[in-house]
């Protein structure tokens, strides 16, 4: 109950702080926390929301927007060069620099595309998601969206990189075989040791050699995104100024 209340409070606060009435294009993420974001937006009432259009990050997100009676559209139809005013989304883990692990809901590819299309990305997460380094609280591994035929070779590469126990995410009961994303891909969850931040190198903490499995956030992201068959990775970048390997915007704030 405490967790749900924390999600709801974070969502309502985030919408209050970051959804200005003048905004017209809003990205909506996926997962259970973003449900409260949509509740908070719907609670503004049609007088405010009728001039706003909402852009989904997958099937669940699309359903949330429609069920709330909000205007639905797709960023693929936006005129070239148009940005969203803001995008709201959840996360599986948030580190001290507001870097994120995302993809617990297997929606990371479209989430990153929508996040990157927004002027401002607001991450909404309950207190469980906050940790000093990624991989401390979220133990399931970094979600990686892959083309199924490349999955075995990506698993081999992950082993070489020091990830132990990386695996293709199995389907839920009632679905034999692997989870298939909204994009027809598979998800590999790749556990690594907690990801180091720039401030760690000042403390003499370094990623040893590649097979040690100890990586900095940006070095790991740069390697993962280049593996043949990887479509997108569940690492989003925070305010530490890390170069973004694949374009996600910096979260403006994370609410807990
Ligand atoms: O898949 C995702 O990245 C989602 O945002 C998800 O990980 C957050 O899920 P939650 O809000 O249900 O914790």
* Residue reference for tokens 């995008």: 87
Nearest alpha carbon, ligand 1 atom 11: 33
Ligand 1 nearest atom to the CA of residue 29, by list position: 5
Distances (CA, A) of 118 to 1, 17, 137, 190, 222: 32, 16, 28, 28, 22
Query: What predicted TM-score, i.e. pTM, was given to this entire model?
Result: 0.92
pLDDT on residue 237: 81
Ligand 1: nearest atom to the Cα of 100: 3
In angstroms, the Cα distances linking 74 to 41, 55, 71, 145, 212 are 18, 5, 10, 21, 42
Q: In what order do the strands lie in the sheet with 100-101?
A: 93-94, 100-101, 235-236
DSSP 236: E
Q: What is the pLDDT of residue 213?
A: 79
**How much is the pLDDT for 244?**
36
CA-nearest residue for atom 5, ligand 1, is 90
142-146 and 186-190 as β-strands: parallel, antiparallel, unpaired?
antiparallel
**Nearest 5°: phi and psi at 141?**
105, 165
Catalytic residues: 111
Q: Is the CB of 181 under 6 A from ligand 1?
A: no
Residue 34 CA, ligand 1 centroid: distance in Å: 8
| Structure confidence at residue 254 (pLDDT) | 55
Q: Assess whether the C-beta atom of 31 lies below 6 angstroms from ligand 1.
A: yes
Among 3, 91, 137, 179, which is best to mutate for testing ligand 1, by the most ligand atoms less than 8 A from CB?
A: 91
Q: Which ligand 1 atom is nearest residue 124's CA?
A: 11
pLDDT average per 10 residues of sequence, the chain (256 residues): 90 94 97 97 98 98 98 97 94 91 97 92 90 94 98 97 96 93 98 90 67 86 96 82 40 56
pLDDT of residue 240: 42
ipTM above 0.90, yes or no: yes
pLDDT score recorded for residue 243:
34
């Amino acid at each position: 109950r405490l967790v749900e209340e924390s999600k709801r409070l974070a969502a309502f606060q985030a919408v209050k702080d970051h959804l200005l009435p003048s905004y017209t294009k809003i990205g909506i993420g996926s997962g259970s926390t973003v449900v409260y974001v949509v509740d908070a937006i719907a609670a503004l009432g049609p007088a405010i929301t009728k001039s706003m259009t909402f852009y989904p990050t997958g099937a669940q997100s699309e359903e949330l927007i429609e069920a709330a009676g909000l205007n639905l559209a797709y960023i693929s139809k936006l005129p070239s060069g148009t940005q969203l005013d803001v995008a709201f989304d959840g996360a599986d883990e948030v580190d001290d620099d507001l870097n994120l692990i995302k993809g617990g809901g297997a929606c990371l590819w479209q989430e990153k595309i929508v996040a990157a299309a927004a002027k401002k990305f607001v991450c909404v997460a309950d207190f469980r998601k906050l940790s000093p380094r990624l991989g401390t609280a979220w133990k399931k591994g970094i979600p990686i969206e892959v083309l199924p035929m490349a999955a075995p070779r990506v698993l081999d590469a992950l082993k070489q990189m020091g990830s132990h126990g990386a695996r293709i995410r199995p389907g839920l009961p009632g679905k034999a075989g692997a989870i298939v994303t909204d994009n027809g891909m598979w998800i590999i969850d790749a556990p690594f040791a907690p990801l180091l931040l720039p401030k760690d190198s000042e403390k003499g903490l370094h990623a040893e050699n590649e097979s040690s499995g100890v990586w900095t956030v940006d070095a790991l992201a740069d390697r993962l995104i280049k593996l043949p068959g990887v479509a997108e990775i569940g690492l989003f970048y925070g305010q530490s100024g890390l170069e973004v390997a694949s374009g996600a915007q910096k979260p403006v704030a994370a609410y807990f």
